[in-house]
C-alpha cells in the first residue's frame, strides 16, 4: 500500500488491526513527509524518530495493543512527555524534561499510540504566534494555540495530534487548516500533566481528518473507549443556528458558510432549522470568559512572572498584568454568570434543541503577520463547557477553508460525534463528505 501518510487515523487503525500494513511502514511514510515539508510548515518542536521506530517495530511483532495500535501521534508541546522535552512554548522551559507523561498521553500509549514528537504551541498556549505556517498557504497563519498540531495533521505529517482549548485553540486552527477539530465536554479528558492556563476553561481534545479520527483520539485520551465507535444517527434532530451576539464580525465567507450549513442541516433536521436567540444576559459572556481566563492566567503563571518575566513576551506579560488587576469579587461574579448560563443552555438542550450550529472563526486564516486570529466565536461555547466539533464547509476568497462548529449539550459527546458524521455526509461537496 503506497502513500500511507495520506491515510486517516481511522483508516490506518483498521488496516493496522488487520495487519494489512505495518506500523513501521506508516511511521516511515510520515517521517518522509515531515522531511519534505517541515522546513516550510514548521509544525514540530522535537521528534523522537529512533524511539518511535523502535516502538513501531515492537508493535508489529506483538499483539494488537489497543484502539490506537501503531498510529503515529503529534503531541502539543503543552503536554508533559517523559521521553521528550516539554517547553510549553516558552524559552523558560527550553531544557525541561518531565519525569512522567500527562495522563492523556499515558493513556494514548496504553492504547498502542506512537508518540512521534512534540508540535508547536504558542507561548503557554496564549496568543503570541509561533513559527508554524498554514500548510495550505505559508503566507497565512495556522491559528493558535494548537498551531503545530493542526498544521501537522493538515499536511499529512501525522494522522492525529492533540490540542487544547481555553478560548478557541482547537476549533479555530481546525477551521484555518481545513481539518476536523474536536473539543469534548469540559472535564472529559484529565488535564493532569498539561500546563495550566485557566483551570475553569482548559479543555483537551484533538485533530484528525474525519469525525471517526477525532472520536478515536478522544476515546483513547479519556479512557472512554466506547466513544471510538461512532453510532449511526437514526432520528431527525431539532437544529438551531446561533449567530451569537458577535455576528457583525463575521466575514462574508463565514456568512456564506452558515447559509450552506443551514441548507445541509435540513436533511437531518426535524422540521425547519431555526435561528436561536440567546438571552440578553449572554451578550456579556465573552467578556466574562476573557476576564476569567486572564484572572486565572495571572495566578497559573505567577511563578514564571515573578522569576522569568524577561524571558516572556511583552504580549503575555501584559495579559498577566491585566489579569492581576481583575478583583476576586469580579472574578467570582463572572463565574456565577457562567454557571447561570450553563444551567440555561443545559435546560435548552435537554428540552428544545438537540444541536447548535455556529461559526468557528471570523473567516479564513489571517496573514501570518496579523497573528493567530480572533477566537471570538469560540469563547462562549468554551465557557459553557459544551462539546464542539469543527467541520469544514467551504472556502473563502483566498481559497482557504472556512469551518462551522457543531455544538451539543453538556456531556453529549457520543451524540455530537454521530450528528457530525451525519452532517458531513449531507454536505453537497463529495470531498467534504470525507470528513465523516
298 among known catalytic residues:
no
Say what the pLDDT of residue 1 is. 60
412 among known catalytic residues:
no
Q: CA 4 → CA 18, 71, 212, 314, distances in Å?
A: 15, 11, 18, 43
Say what the pLDDT of residue 432 is. 94
Q: Evaluate whether 171 touches 360 at the Cβ level (below 8 Å).
A: yes
Q: CA 44 → CA 89, 204, 205, 217, 416, distances in Å?
A: 11, 19, 18, 19, 30
Distance CA 218, CA 222 (A): 6
Q: Which of 42, 76, 183, 188 is catalytic?
A: 76
Residue 258 has pLDDT above 90, yes or no: yes
Helix (H, G, I), strand (E, B) or coil at 65: coil
Nearest Cα to Cα of residue 393 among 171, 213, 175, 238: 175
Reported as a single tens digit per residue, the pLDDT across 38-95 is 999 999 999 999 999 999 999 999 999 999 999 999 999 999 999 999 999 999 999 9
Reported as a single tens digit per residue, the pLDDT across 317-362 is 999 999 999 999 999 999 999 999 999 999 999 999 999 999 999 9
**Cis amide linkage into residue 229, ω under 30° from 0:** no
Helix (H, G, I), strand (E, B) or coil at 119: strand
Share of the chain above pLDDT 90, in %: 98
Helix (H, G, I), strand (E, B) or coil at 136: coil
Task: Catalogue the E-assigned strands of 93-250.
Answer: 114-119, 160-165, 180-183, 203-208, 239-241
Say what the pLDDT of residue 238 is. 97
Q: Which residues contact 222 (CB under 8 A, 6 or more apart)?
A: 104, 107, 184, 188, 189, 190
Distance CA 214, CA 228 (A): 8
126 among known catalytic residues:
no
Q: Which of 129, 146, 147, 169 is catalytic?
A: 169
Q: Which of 10, 104, 111, 145 is catalytic?
A: 145
Q: How many CB atoms lie within 10 A of CB 40?
A: 11
Say what the pLDDT of residue 2 is. 67
C-alpha cell at 11: 483508516
Instruction: Work out the pLDDT band at 121, boundaries 50, 70, 90.
Output: very high
Distance CA 68, CA 264 (A): 32
DSSP labels, 244-298: -TTGGG--HHHHHHHHHHHHHHGGGBSS--EEPPPPGGGGGHHHHHHHHHHHHHH
Amino acid at each position: 500500500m503506497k502513500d500511507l501518510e495520506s491515510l486517516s487515523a481511522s483508516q490506518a487503525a483498521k488496516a493496522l488491526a488487520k495487519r494489512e500494513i505495518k506500523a513501521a511502514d506508516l511511521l516511515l511514510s510520515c517521517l518522509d513527509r515531515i522531511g519534505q515539508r517541515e522546513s516550510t510548515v514548521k509544525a514540530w518542536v522535537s521528534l523522537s524518530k529512533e524511539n518511535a521506530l523502535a516502538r513501531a517495530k515492537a508493535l508489529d511483532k506483538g499483539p494488537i495493543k489497543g484502539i490506537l495500535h501503531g498510529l503515529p501521534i503529534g503531541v502539543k508541546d503543552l503536554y508533559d512527555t517523559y521521553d521528550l522535552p516539554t517547553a510549553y512554548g516558552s524559552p523558560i522551559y527550553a531544557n525541561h524534561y518531565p519525569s512522567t507523561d500527562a495522563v492523556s498521553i499515558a493513556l494514548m500509549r496504553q492504547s498502542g499510540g506512537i508518540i512521534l514528537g512534540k508540535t508547536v504551541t504558542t507561548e503557554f498556549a496564549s496568543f503570541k504566534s509561533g513559527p508554524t505556517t498554514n500548510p495550505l498557504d505559508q503566507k497565512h497563519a495556522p491559528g493558535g494555540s494548537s498551531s503545530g498540531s493542526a498544521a501537522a495533521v493538515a499536511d499529512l505529517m501525522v494522522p492525529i495530534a492533540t490540542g487544547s482549548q481555553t478560548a478557541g485553540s482547537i476549533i479555530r486552527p481546525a477551521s484555518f487548516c481545513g481539518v476536523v477539530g474536536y473539543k469534548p465536554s469540559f472535564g472529559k479528558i484529565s488535564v493532569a500533566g498539561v500546563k495550566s492556563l485557566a483551570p475553569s476553561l482548559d479543555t483537551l481534545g484533538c485533530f484528525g481528518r474525519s469525525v471517526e479520527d477525532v472520536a478515536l483520539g478522544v476515546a483513547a485520551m479519556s479512557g472512554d473507549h466506547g466513544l471510538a465507535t461512532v453510532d449511526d444517527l437514526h432520528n431527525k434532530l431539532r437544529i438551531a443556528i446561533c449567530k451569537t451576539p458577535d455576528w457583525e464580525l463575521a466575514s462574508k465567507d463565514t456568512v456564506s458558510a452558515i447559509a450552506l450549513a443551514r441548507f445541509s442541516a435540513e436533511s437531518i433536521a426535524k422540521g425547519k432549522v431555526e435561528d436561536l436567540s440567546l438571552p440578553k444576559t449572554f451578550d456579556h459572556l465573552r467578556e466574562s470568559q476573557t476576564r476569567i481566563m486572564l484572572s486565572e492566567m495571572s495566578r497559573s503563571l505567577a511563578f514564571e512572572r515573578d522569576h522569568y518575566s524577561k524571558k516572556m513576551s511583552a504580549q503575555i506579560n501584559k495579559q498577566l498584568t491585566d489579569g492581576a488587576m481583575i478583583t476576586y469579587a469580579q472574578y467570582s461574579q463572572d463565574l456565577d454568570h457562567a454557571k447561570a448560563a450553563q444551567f440555561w443552555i443545559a435546560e435548552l438542550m435537554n428540552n428544545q434543541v438537540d444541536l447548535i450550529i455556529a461559526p468557528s472563526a471570523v473567516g479564513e486564516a489571517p496573514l501570518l503577520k496579523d497573528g493567530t486570529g480572533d477566537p471570538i466565536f469560540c469563547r462562549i461555547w468554551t465557557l459553557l463547557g459544551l462539546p464542539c466539533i469543527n467541520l469544514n464547509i467551504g472556502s473563502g476568497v483566498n481559497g482557504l477553508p472556512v469551518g462551522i462548529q457543531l455544538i451539543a449539550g453538556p456531556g453529549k459527546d457520543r451524540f455530537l460525534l454521530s450528528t457530525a458524521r451525519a452532517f458531513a455526509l449531507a454536505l453537497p461537496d463529495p470531498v467534504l463528505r470525507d470528513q465523516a
